[in-house]
Chains A and B, each alone.
Chain A
Amino acid sequence: MTPAFIAISILGLLATVLFVAGYFRGASSALTDRQQSHSQTTIEGENKARYVVPVVFAVATSAVVIALVGVDPIFVYLGPLLAIATNAMIGIAFFYDRES
């Protein structure tokens, strides 16, 4: 086992814990929500989140991450690392969820 493999396994485990915690929170919220909401769906507030700058940043970052592999082989491991981060961020999304 190489240090990279050990590191990614540990990070994967930590991200999984976060994901599972978030998933249970999301599932229990959905159940609670269902029990409280028997009426027709109401129109909620619009989502006013700004998105242009984050979208441009995400697109540019993805291209840079791929290009970096051609600059130094160590960046081969950046993709797997970010995949773990994706999983962690989904876990965080359950906690970040807000009603308004």
Chain B
Amino acid sequence: MDKSSLIVTPGLTPFLGYSLMIGMGLIFLVLANLIKNALVRNTHDFIIANRRIGLGFGVGTVISVWTWAMAVMMSSAMTFKWGLSGLAWFVVPNGFAIMAMIPLARVLRRRMPEGYTISDFAYRRFGRSNVAAGVVTLTMIFGVILEILINLKGTSVVMSTVFSIDWKVATVVTIVTVLAYSYFGGLWTSVMTGTINTWTITVPAAIVVVAVFSLIPGGAHAVVGKVAAANPAYLSVTNPDAAFGFGITLAFGLLASVVADQTFWQKVWAIRANQVTRTFMWAGALFYPIPICLGMLGLIGIAYRLTPADIGGDIVAVGPYIVSHIGLPFVLIIAYVLVILAACYSTIDGASSGLSSIVAIDIVKRFAPRTSERTLFYITKASMFVGGLIAVAIVLSGADFTSLVLTTYTLKTSILVPLILAIVWPRTNTIGFIGGVVLSILIGMPLHQIYGELVGTLSILAISGATVVIAAVLRPVRFDMGDLTAQADQSAVDIRISDATSV
């Protein structure tokens, strides 16, 4: 296995790359138009799908939204860098993070059956505190925008590696394509196109990975033999370097990424109440094979003794590089590109849909409750474009992909413990909640800068959790979770979006 034998497959022109990006968007645009005409009549349908999403679409959409460029490309990258330990530390917390939503989702779906957003929960939970709700809303908006830009960056890495497309142009084309079809059907479009994307992420990915191994003389045995020769530790899942290098930080970050993300809370309230537990359980378990499958490409990178410099300097490009250079038939390279595009598109449209629910409920309906249904509907849609534009502007500034991901996770970690405690511990009070988030950022972020990811993350978790507990001891109050349901009934008039008015 000589890396000089890896030569880019001819015919991968920029025109083909653009055709794939736009063509996939056009197909979804047609589907979105059908969905809009059949299922979307008002803002309620647009942001919460009338709470009628079933198990199949629920599982499909949760998997597609969670399968970022992260899962597709970083599974290969982490394997390439750390061996099987890297893959294990990347994969195991990933699926668990989805399933960790189950107990929290059960509580809130039972207590707030008519809920829309997690910020709205904070608003009701903390005595209609605009500060508490604002902290959560800001974190959610920030998270959604970072989610979009990370996936835009992922698409641009693949399109520039495989098709030699200018990554800046690829970024702009991607956001225009996704927002064009997301604009029409809101959450229903996101759910139905996302489920199709889950097919694209699973079947073609499996076929491509097996085809790559089939092309290598000696197949899997030869690859694993070369990996063992390079370093036997690559074939162990117990290498502590991977855990301390990124695994522990990533595990908490992934948990925060789900629990502190409106994209998933929106699903909690949009899925039929009797399918919520089952959906998140199935989605978490069925997600696992996707990064495991694609992670195998990282072993090939080790076997060929590739270096970051060989693949353009960024290790997330190891998967796209191998697929486009190992001599696969043209159609399989296109299939792999569609895997990446599907992952990116579904996450971006899911995040945009999440953003639309935040804007509708936590901004417009709270601060301008008399806004007409028609105006609300258009503001909700426009918010998706604004979020996309902000994300594009940041991506075009040229930030590093891996650093970006870890920074996102660290920031979201600050709200993780206070939010969980707010849901499950009645003694959590407003001061503890807000203080926990603010102090953990003020103290934890400098520690993160000075001592690195691991110390920074653990400090943020410890400070935020300890602040909530200390505040509960100093100012003992007990919140009756039953009040959430009562408040929902009381606020139904001013928060509920009319289901009777068609737009």
Residue positions of A touching B, CB distance < 8 A: 1-2, 4-5, 8-9, 12, 15-16, 19, 22-23, 25-27, 29-31, 33-34, 37, 39-41, 43-49, 51, 54-55, 58-59, 61-63, 65-67, 69-70, 73-74, 76-87, 89-91, 93-100
Contact = CB atoms under 8 A, between A and B. Distances in A.
B291 to A, nearest CB: 9
Given A67-B84, A82-B289, A55 B274 contact: no
B500 to A, nearest CB: 8
A22 B56 contact: yes
19 contacts: A1-B214, A2-B219, A12-B206, A25-B56, A29-B54, A30-B52, A30-B54, A44-B273, A47-B275, A47-B278, A59-B92, A61-B288, A62-B292, A69-B299, A79-B296, A84-B202, A93-B282, A97-B275, A100-B274
B281 A8 contact: no
A76 B220 contact: yes
B39 interface: yes
Chain A contact surface mostly: helix
A83 B289 contact: yes
Contact of A73 (B59, B220, B272, B287): B220
Which 10 residue pairs are nearest across A and B when measured between Cβ atoms? A94-B56, A82-B289, A70-B235, A80-B206, A58-B285, A79-B293, A73-B224, A79-B292, A76-B220, A97-B55
Contacts of B284: 55, 58
A55 B384 CA distance: 34
B180 interface: no
Contacts of B3: none
B193 to A, nearest CB: 11
B231 to A, nearest CB: 12
Nearest to A96: B55
Nearest to A15: B203
A69 B224 CA distance: 8
Contacts of A80: 205-207, 209-210, 289, 293, 296
Contact of A82 (B199, B272, B292): B292
Contacts, number: 232
Chain B contact patch, size range: 35 or more
Chain B contact surface mostly: helix
Interface of B: 38-39, 50-52, 54-60, 63, 84, 87-88, 91-92, 95-96, 99, 102, 106, 109-110, 113-114, 188, 192, 195-196, 198-199, 202-203, 205-207, 209-211, 213-214, 219-221, 223-225, 235-237, 272-278, 281-282, 284-290, 292-296, 299, 499
Residue from A1, A65, A84 with most neighbouring chain B CB atoms (10 Å):
A84
B59 A45 contact: no
Given A83-B202, A97-B54, 19 more contacts: A5-B214, A15-B203, A26-B57, A40-B499, A41-B50, A49-B277, A51-B277, A69-B224, A70-B84, A70-B235, A76-B299, A79-B289, A80-B293, A82-B293, A84-B206, A86-B286, A90-B59, A90-B60, A93-B282
Contacts of A94: 54-57
Contacts of B210: 4-5, 8, 77, 80
B57 A19 contact: no
Nearest to B64: A90
A90 B278 CA distance: 12
A45 B110 CA distance: 9
